């Protein structure tokens, strides 16, 4: 473990001096203990698994058209745009609907989703579409809002040219 050397360096008995003591500490057991502790903590630690949102994607063979069309009173369309802007309107036709601009705050789209879900019930459907200028974060945020408000019926749809006109309509209404 450790030793103390008491040699006088090989000199003769000329003067009687105090003996120099040299200490040498063997660090091998300390290193072994350190590695044992590291190994113990690595083996006993539970690694956290990443938490992901489950998305139910249909199989290519199981794609069937919906037999009953969705009523416009049971659906809203949410449009995601650049600079964290979000627009929504009731129904499926943006030409006749009132387009409303909102944000991702709890008093924004979350309140709207909760109100519409309370009005319609379990048949409530949300259609989500994003412009090319919107960010990936915006899509994740709206999917989080679907999970928070417990909306189980929603669809991510391609961005149609009619949606561009709806965003312009919402911009002019917001000003």
Q: What is the DSSP string of 115-164?
A: HHHHHH-TT-EEEEEE-TTS-HHHHHHHHHHHHHTT---EEE-PPPHHHH
pLDDT digits (tens, 9 = 90+) for 40-84: 998 888 777 777 767 676 677 666 665 667 777 788 888 998 888
Give the count of domains, the chain: 1
CATH of the domain at 98: 3.30.420.270
112 is a domain residue: yes
Percent of the chain with pLDDT over 90: 7
Please say whether the beta carbons of 74 and 126 come within 8 A: no
67 is a domain residue: no
pLDDT digits (tens, 9 = 90+) for 82-132: 888 898 888 767 777 788 888 888 888 889 888 888 888 888 888 898 888
Q: 23 burial class (0-12, 13-18, 19+ CB within 10 angstroms)? A: exposed
147 is a domain residue: yes
78 is a domain residue: yes
Domain that includes residue 166, residue range? 72-174
Helices (H), 24-135: 28-44, 111-120
Q: What are phi and psi of 147, to 5 degrees?
A: -70, -40
**pTM, rounded to two decimals:** 0.61
Cα separation values, 19 from 9, 10, 25, 162, Å: 9, 12, 19, 97
């Amino acid at each position: 473990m450790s030793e103390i050397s008491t040699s006088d360096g090989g000199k003769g008995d000329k003067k009687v001096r105090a003996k120099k003591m040299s200490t040498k500490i063997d660090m091998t057991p300390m290193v072994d203990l350190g590695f044992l502790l590291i190994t113990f903590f690595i083996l006993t630690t539970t690694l956290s698994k990443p938490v992901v949102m489950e998305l139910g994607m249909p199989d290519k063979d199981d794609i069937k058209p919906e037999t009953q069309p969705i009523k416009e009173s049971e659906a809203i369309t949410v449009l995601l745009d650049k600079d964290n802007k979000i627009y929504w309107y009731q129904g499926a036709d943006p030409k006749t609907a009132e387009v409303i601009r909102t944000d991702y705050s709890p008093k924004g789209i979350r309140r709207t989703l909760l109100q519409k879900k309370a009005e319609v019930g379990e048949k409530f459907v949300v259609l989500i579409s994003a412009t090319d200028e919107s960010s990936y974060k915006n899509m994740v945020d709206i999917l989080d809002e679907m999970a928070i408000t417990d909306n189980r019926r929603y669809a991510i749809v391609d961005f149609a040219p009619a949606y561009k006109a709806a965003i312009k309509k919402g911009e002019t209404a917001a000003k």
